[in-house]
Amino acid sequence: MGFPTIRLRRLRQNEALRSLVRETRLSPASLVYPLFVCPGEGVRREVRSMPGVFNLSVDEAVREARQAHSLGILSVILFGLPDKKDEMATGAWADDGIVQRAARALKRELPRLLVLGDVCLCEYMPHGHCGVVRASGPQSLGAAAAAPSSEDYEIVNDASLEILARTAVSLARAGVDVIAPSDMMDGRVGAIRKALDAAGLSHTPILSYAAKFASGFYGPFREAADSTPQFGDRRSYQMDGANLHEAMREMALDIEEGADILMVKPAMPYLDVIAAARERFDLPLAAYQVSGEYAMIEAAARNQWIDRERVLLEALVSIRRAGASIILTYYAKQAARLLG
């Protein structure tokens, strides 16, 4: 039996009907709002490539989080811009690190806000890589040195795990509710889980950037977080965008190591990965609508080529429809307002 008896347009006649039968729904409570925290007071510095996104001092981050929370956004994730950088990423794990200070302030002022802490080393080391770098040739790897070739250095996996684990413990002790490692070193989830448990923080969950792809969509973030690699790229540790099955292996390994939530990054270019992960794994699934996705929508909207509000919601619904129940997005506040 088909047309004219079956008419699918019957359920599209008005907003009340469309809302009644809508299969995929967004909620402000499912959105996580990224905040870039920097030193100083009263600082609200717009990121050139991300209009509407700011580097915020701790006091401004609290104000921004309070506004987001009033809109029904229950979670933020913190990225830090330290006072100084060094080869041991001291700013990442120091008790008075910028994210640690922000976490304490947020939990003091907004105790019901869920605070996630990104765990990576790229913002805290002068070379901008996500792990410890070891020279394999005679050339210096300092910031002032000429750009070395890939044969001149190695991103040292196992030596990075100790610093990542130390950072996770420091953040959790400062009040971060969820630890979110984004470095893509092998074994980082297990190392962090072991360190948290040993520190009496077994209740602290881990949201793993389980399938983080080496993507061209990260450029604006690197400006916002001052984390552009000073030489080479991140392809030796971030995933090849062509590899779906490898992404499933990464996720399975992170589950074995103790991850509580999985994440795919970026979101829209990898909706198939999100869908495959949702089909295969039972853990909560997150996706990151990254800086390049945001910047493209903003650029087109500011040129009046697209309807910003319509497109940002369409993009977020596509991520939710693919299977992600948690979405990290710079559009969290705008989306929350639109969702009412």
The DSSP line for 86-135 is: -TT-HHHH-TT-HHHHHHHHHHHH-TTSEEEEEE-STTTSTT--SSEEEE
Assign 3-state DSSP to the chain and report helix, strand, coil percentages, each to 5: 45, 20, 40
Structure tokens at 113: 């806000």
Query: Would you state the structure tokens that stand for residue 73, as one six-digit string?
Result: 């956004």
Which single residue is written with the structure tokens 């497109």? 311
Say what the pLDDT of residue 336 is: 98
CA separation for the pair 49, 291 (Å, rounded): 9
What would the pLDDT profile of 260-300 be if each residue is shown by its tens digit? 999 999 999 999 999 999 999 999 999 999 999 999 999 99
**Which residues are within 8 A (CB) of 117 and not within 5 positions of it... i.e. 6 or more apart?**
77, 78, 99, 103, 168, 171, 172, 176, 178, 179, 180
Q: What is the CATH number for 217?
A: 3.20.20.70
Separation of alpha carbons 226 and 80, rounded Å: 9
Q: What residue has token string 């701790």?
A: 58
Instruction: Please state, in angstroms and rounded to a whole number, the distance separating the CA atoms of residues 277 and 245.
Output: 10
Asked if the structure places residue 124 within a domain, the reply is: yes
Residue 230 is predicted with a pLDDT of 86
Q: Are 161 and 188 in contact (CB under 8 A)?
A: yes
- 69 found inside a domain: yes
Token pair 């717009």: residue: 46
**Number of compact structural domains in the chain:** 1
pTM: 0.94
- Residue 139 domain-assigned (yes or no): no
CA pair distance 121, 184, nearest whole angstrom = 11
Which residues of the chain carry a pLDDT beneath 50? 143-144
Residue 136 has a pLDDT of: 75
pLDDT tens digits, residue range 208-259? 999 999 999 999 998 898 888 888 888 889 999 999 999 999 999 999 999 9
Kind plus residue range of the DSSP H or E element containing 259? none
Residue 96: burial class (beta carbons within 10 Å; 0-12, 13-18, 19+): exposed
Quick check: 205 and 258 in contact, CB under 8 A?
no
Neighbours of 304 (CB within 10 A): 8
Q: Strands of the chain (E only): list them.
A: 31-37, 44-47, 50-56, 75-80, 114-119, 132-135, 153-156, 178-181, 207-212, 261-265, 285-289, 326-329
User: In this structure, is residue 311 part of a structural domain?
Assistant: yes
The span from the CA of 120 to the CA of 174, in Å, is 16
Structural domain boundaries enclosing 240 = 25-128+156-339
- Give the model's pLDDT for residue 102: 98
146 lies in some domain: no
Residue 198, token pair as written in the block:
């040993």
Task: Give the per-residue pLDDT at 144.
Answer: 44
Q: What is the pLDDT of residue 150?
A: 57
Is 15 domain-assigned?
no
d(CA 177, CA 199): 15
What's the pLDDT score for residue 153? 80
147 part of a folded domain: no
Instruction: Please tell me the predicted confidence (pLDDT) of residue 143.
Output: 47
Asked if the structure places residue 11 within a domain, the reply is no
In the block, tokens 């948290």 appear at 196
Report the catalytic residues. Answer: 212, 265
Helix axes 157-174, 188-198, angle to 10 degrees: 40
3-class state of residue 152 by DSSP: helix
Give dist(CA 45, CA 57) in Å, integer.
9
- C-beta atoms surrounding 340 within 10 Å: 7
